[in-house]
C-alpha cells in the first residue's frame, strides 16, 4: 500500500475530512494529490499533519510498516527472481522515496534490499554506517513484526554474534498466535535458525543450544520432513560436541541451510553423507 493510500485510509478511519487535516497547514488540493500518490510531502509537513490524528511519528510509522511488510517482501521476491540488477533498481527506488519523504521505512527497506544481494552471488554493498542504522533500529523494536524478521534474515551475516544472540532470545520467546499467520511464524523460526546456524558454525554450542531449546518443540512450519531433519541435525551437533565426532557434527551444521523442502533438495549429497556417518541411519533422499 502506497503512503498516500495509507494516509487516506487512516484519515477516514479517524472520521476526518481533507479540510480537517489540511486546515492551517497546507491546501486541500495538496492533500488530495498526496492521497492519490501524485506528490510527496516533506517531513516537517507530514509530522504536523500527524498531529491531527493524535499520533506521533513513531506510532504512525509502526502502523504503516505493519501494512507494508508483505508488499515489500513480495516486491523483493519478484525483483530477486529477475536478478541482481532488478534488486538494485528496487533498492534505489526505495532510497529515493526516503530522500523525498523522510519516511524511515523506505530507508530500512532499501538497506535490507541491498543486503539480499549476496544471496544472489553478488558482493555486499551495505556500508558500516547502514549496518549501524539497522542495528539501532532493531534495538528499539519491542514487538517483532514480519518486516523486522524478514529484514533480520537478510542482515544476519552483517551483525555481531552477541547482538544476534540477544535478538534471537527475544524472538524465540515470542509465542505467535494463529492470527499472525503462517508466513509470520515461518519468518520467525527461520530468523532463530539462522542465528543458531551462525553460533554452531563458530562452535558456540552452549549459546546455540540455549536458543534452540526454546524453539525445538514448535510444530513444523513448512515441509514436515525438512524442518524435522533440521531439528535433528542440531540436536546431534549438540549431543556430539564433546565427542570424538565433534568435527563431523560441526561440518554438519556448516552445510545445513534453512529451507522448506525435503530430503536431498534440502540437504544435498554432502549433508546426506554426514548425516548417515553420525547416525548410522540411511536416508533415501526423498
Is-contact 86 79, C-beta < 8 A?
yes
Is-contact 200 255, C-beta < 8 A?
no
- The per-residue pLDDT for 162 is 94
- The per-residue pLDDT for 271 is 53
How far, in Å, CA of 45 to CA of 32, rounded? 14
Which letter, b or e, does each residue of 132-166 get, where b requires 16 or more Cβ atoms within 10 Å of its Cβ?
Answer: ebbeebbeebeebbbbbbbbbbbbbebbebeebbe
Is-contact 184 138, C-beta < 8 A?
no
- The per-residue pLDDT for 150 is 84
Q: What is the pTM (predicted TM-score) of this model?
A: 0.60
Is-contact 193 211, C-beta < 8 A?
no
Is-contact 195 156, C-beta < 8 A?
yes
Is-contact 153 126, C-beta < 8 A?
no
How far, in Å, CA of 164 to CA of 147, rounded? 17
pLDDT tens per residue across span 81-96? 899 999 999 999 999 9
Give the residue with greater pLDDT, 36 vs 110.
Answer: 110
How far, in Å, CA of 165 to CA of 177, rounded? 23
Burial class (CB in 10 A: 0-12, 13-18, 19+), 51: exposed
Burial class (CB in 10 A: 0-12, 13-18, 19+), 63: middle
- The per-residue pLDDT for 246 is 55
Give the residue with greater pLDDT, 215 vs 132.
Answer: 132
Residue with cell 527497506: 109
How far, in Å, CA of 44 to CA of 93, rounded? 22
Mean pLDDT of 211-231: 63
Q: How many residues does the chain have?
A: 286
Share above pLDDT 70 across residues of the chain, in percent, rounded to a whole number? 65
pLDDT tens per residue across span 128-166? 999 999 999 898 887 788 888 888 988 988 999 999 999
Amino acid at each position: 500500500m502506497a503512503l498516500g493510500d495509507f494516509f487516506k485510509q487512516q484519515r477516514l478511519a479517524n472520521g476526518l475530512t481533507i479540510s480537517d487535516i489540511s486546515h492551517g497547514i497546507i491546501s486541500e488540493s495538496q492533500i488530495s494529490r498526496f492521497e492519490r500518490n501524485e506528490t510527496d510531502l516533506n517531513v516537517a509537513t507530514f509530522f504536523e499533519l500527524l498531529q491531527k490524528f493524535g499520533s506521533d511519528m513513531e506510532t504512525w510509522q509502526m502502523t504503516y510498516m505493519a501494512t507494508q511488510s508483505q508488499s515489500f517482501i513480495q516486491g523483493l521476491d519478484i525483483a530477486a527472481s529477475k536478478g541482481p540488477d532488478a534488486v538494485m533498481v528496487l533498492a534505489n527506488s526505495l532510497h529515493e522515496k526516503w530522500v523525498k519523504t523522510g519516511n524511515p521505512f523506505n530507508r530500512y527497506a532499501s538497506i535490507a534490499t541491498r543486503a539480499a544481494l549476496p544471496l544472489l552471488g553478488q558482493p555486499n554493498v551495505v556500508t558500516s554506517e547502514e549496518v549501524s542504522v539497522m542495528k539501532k533500529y532493531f534495538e528499539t523494536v519491542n514487538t517483532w513484526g514480519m518486516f523486522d524478521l524478514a529484514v533480520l534474515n537478510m542482515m544476519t551475516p552483517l551483525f555481531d554474534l552477541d547482538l544476534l544472540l540477544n535478538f534471537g532470545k527475544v524472538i524465540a520467546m515470542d509465542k505467535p498466535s494463529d492470527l499472525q499467520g503462517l508466513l509470520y511464524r515461518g519468518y520467525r523460526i527461520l530468523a532463530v535458525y539462522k542465528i543458531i546456524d551462525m553460533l554452531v558454525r563458530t562452535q558456540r554450542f552452549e549459546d546455540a543450544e540455549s536458543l534452540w531449546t526454546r524453539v525445538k518443540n514448535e510444530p513444523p512450519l513448512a515441509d514436515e520432513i525438512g524442518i524435522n531433519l533440521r531439528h535433528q541435525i542440531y540436536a546431534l551437533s549438540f549431543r556430539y560436541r564433546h565427542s570424538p565426532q565433534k568435527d563431523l557434527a560441526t561440518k554438519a551444521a556448516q552445510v545445513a541451510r534453512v529451507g522448506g523442502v525435503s530430503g536431498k533438495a534440502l540437504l544435498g549429497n554432502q549433508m546426506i553423507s554426514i548425516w548417515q556417518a553420525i547416525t548410522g541411519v540411511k536416508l533415501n533422499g526423498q
